[in-house]
Amino acid sequence: MITHRNILYALRLAEVGNYRRTAESLHITHSALVRGIKVLEDSLEVRLFDRGGGVKVTPTAIGEAFLEHAKKVVIAEADLVQDIQALKGLDKGLLRVAMGSFPSKLCGYISTGMFLQKHPFMNVKISILQYSKVAESVLRRDSEVGITELCQLTGNDEMVIEPLGQHKGAFFCRPGHPLLNRGAITISDLMDYPWCCTKMPSRISEHLPDDLGRAGGYDMITGELIPAIEVDVIGDVEGIIKNSDTLCPTALLMFEAELQAGTFSVVPLHKPWMVSNYGFVYLKHRNLSPSVRAFMDIVRKVEHELFAKEEIIAKTINWNS
Q: How far is CA 32 from CA 12, 28, 143, 200, in A?
A: 14, 6, 29, 42
Once rounded to an integer, what is the mean pLDDT over residues 203-232? 93
pLDDT at residue number 44: 87
If one compares 229 and 271, the residue with the highest pLDDT of the two is: 229
Residue 321, pLDDT > 60, answer no
Q: What is the mean pLDDT of the chain?
A: 88
- 248 forms beta bridges with 172
Of the pLDDT bands very low, low, confident and very high (cuts 50, 70, 90), residue 52 is: low
Contact yes or no for 268/190 (Cβ under 8 A) = no
pLDDT at residue number 88: 58
The most confident of the ranges 50-59, 97-106, 284-293 is: 97-106
Residue 185, pLDDT > 70, answer yes
Start-to-end CA distance of the chain, whole Å, equals 68
Once rounded to an integer, what is the mean pLDDT over residues 264-273? 91
Contact yes or no for 282/138 (Cβ under 8 A) = yes
199 three-state secondary structure: coil
User: pLDDT for 137-180, tens place per residue?
Assistant: 998 888 999 999 998 887 778 899 999 978 999 999 999 999 99
d(CA 267, CA 248) in angstroms, rounded, equals 10
User: pLDDT for 87-140, tens place per residue?
Assistant: 555 666 789 999 998 899 999 999 999 999 999 988 999 999 988 899 999 988
DSSP string, 87-107: HTTTTSEEEEEEE-HHHIIII
Task: Indicate the helix (H) or strand (E) that contains 114.
Answer: helix 109-118
Range list of β-strands (E), 26-110: 49-50, 58-59, 93-99
DSSP label at residue 108:
I
pLDDT at residue number 13: 87
d(CA 204, CA 207) in angstroms, rounded, equals 6
User: pLDDT for 5-32, tens place per residue?
Assistant: 888 888 888 888 888 888 888 889 888 8
Once rounded to an integer, what is the mean pLDDT over residues 284-313? 92
Once rounded to an integer, what is the mean pLDDT over residues 266-295? 90
pLDDT at residue number 216: 96
d(CA 75, CA 285) in angstroms, rounded, equals 13
Contact yes or no for 40/7 (Cβ under 8 A) = yes
Burial 261-295 (b: 16+ CB within 10 A, else e): eeebbbbbbbeeebbbbbbbbbbeebebbbbbebb
Contact yes or no for 23/29 (Cβ under 8 A) = yes
pLDDT at residue number 165: 76
Of the pLDDT bands very low, low, confident and very high (cuts 50, 70, 90), residue 302 is: very high
- The residues near 9 (Cβ < 8 Å, ≥ 6 apart) are 22, 26, 33, 36, 37, 40
177 three-state secondary structure: coil
